[in-house]
Structures are given as C-alpha cells and as structure tokens.
Copies of this chain bind each other. A is one copy, B any other.
Amino acid sequence: MMTRQKLRSEETKQAILSAAGKLFADRGYDGVAMREIAKEAGCSHTTIYIYFKDKEVLLHALSMPPLIELKENFEQLVTQSQLAPETKLIEMSMRFIRFCLLHRSIYSVVFIAKGERVDKEQQDLEINETRVALFKQLGQVLQDVLPLPLGEERLLQFNRIYFFMLHGIVSTYSHTEEPLTDIMDRLSSTFETAFDALLNGFKLKMTNGG
C-alpha cells in the first residue's frame, strides 16, 4: 500500500525528472541550472538534492530507464526470426530515431558527448554498457543484411556509415521545436528511403567489389 506521503514524494521526484528532461532537451545539460529545474518542477532547488545526489546523477536517472527500455525493445525485435533482416534493421532504426527525438536530452549526452571522464566510473559504465549494447544489436542485424564475414574491413565501414545516417537524421531534428509525431508523419517515409537507399548502395558495392 502506498501511503499518501510516499505518493507525494514520488510525484515530486517525477516532476523533477520531467522538468529536467524537458529543459535538458531544450537547452542542453550545461545550459540548464538546477534552480530552473526546480522552478519548472514546482519545488525548491534543494529538494532536487534530496532525490538526486548531484546534477549528473539526475541526468543518469533520467537516461537509464528509457535506454534500458530501448535495449529490451531491440532484443525483442532481434529474436523475432520470422522477419526479414532488412525489415528488422529498418524497424530498429526507426525506433532508434523515435527514441532519440523523444528523449532529446539523453541523445545529446549519451550519444554525442561520449566517454570523457574516468572518475564517475560506476555510473558512466552502466550507461556506456547500454549504449554499446544498443550499437552492437544494430550492428548484428546489419551484418545479417549484408552477408560479410565478421571483422571484414568493409563491414566495419558500412557499419560506420550506417551510424552516420542515423546520427545525421537525429541530429538534424533534435533541435527542432516541432513535435515528434509531426516529424514522423512528415518524414518517416524519407527516413525509410534513406536506409533503403544506403543498404542498396552497400549491396551494389559488395556485388561489384566481390
């Protein structure tokens, strides 16, 4: 049973997370002050420190759950063997895009300003592991689409290029005010075309080159 206190506490915590998510997404991690988050969340800035040890922990708490969800989401898709690899890959790509645009603050911090500090190990480790896992999942399916031996130079190259496309799409729209649904409505077919064209280009190279 949830006491009324616990409930209120949880509400505050969620309010903080929600406020931080919104503000980080809009103006970036460094561009947002704790006091602003507090104001947006409707509490004092000291209250934030009750729930999160410091600003970085707040970001971490904000990032982990969606990241894990995405990872599990990916896993589910990967193991669905009745789908064609290409269909899987594009579906995963679309979900990745949707995720990054939905959680813009996470995107900028987790996928862009990656791995610098060595100190905050425990935390960054957790995040980093998840990020690596995500990319590995994508890479694996890409390999299914392009039948090249693992470790082959060209596979690595195609992998990189594929991620350029992903990053390019996300970074192009991660600063827009336009709501996610509008973007997806307008552009999801463009995104699919992008991946499709790219994969066809890869295949052509494999045919010619092999």
Contact = CB atoms under 8 A, between A and B. Distances in A.
Copies of this chain, complex-wide, total: 4
Nearest to A175: B114
Q: How large is the interface on A (under 10, 10 to 19, 20 to 34, 35 or more residues)?
A: 20 to 34
Contacts of A204: 197, 200-201, 204
Interface in A1-49: 30-31
B175 A169 contact: no
For the residues of A in contact with B, the DSSP-based class is: helix
Given A160-B187, A164-B194, 17 more contacts: A113-B175, A157-B190, A157-B193, A161-B165, A163-B172, A164-B165, A164-B168, A164-B169, A164-B172, A196-B205, A197-B198, A198-B198, A198-B201, A199-B201, A200-B200, A200-B204, A201-B204
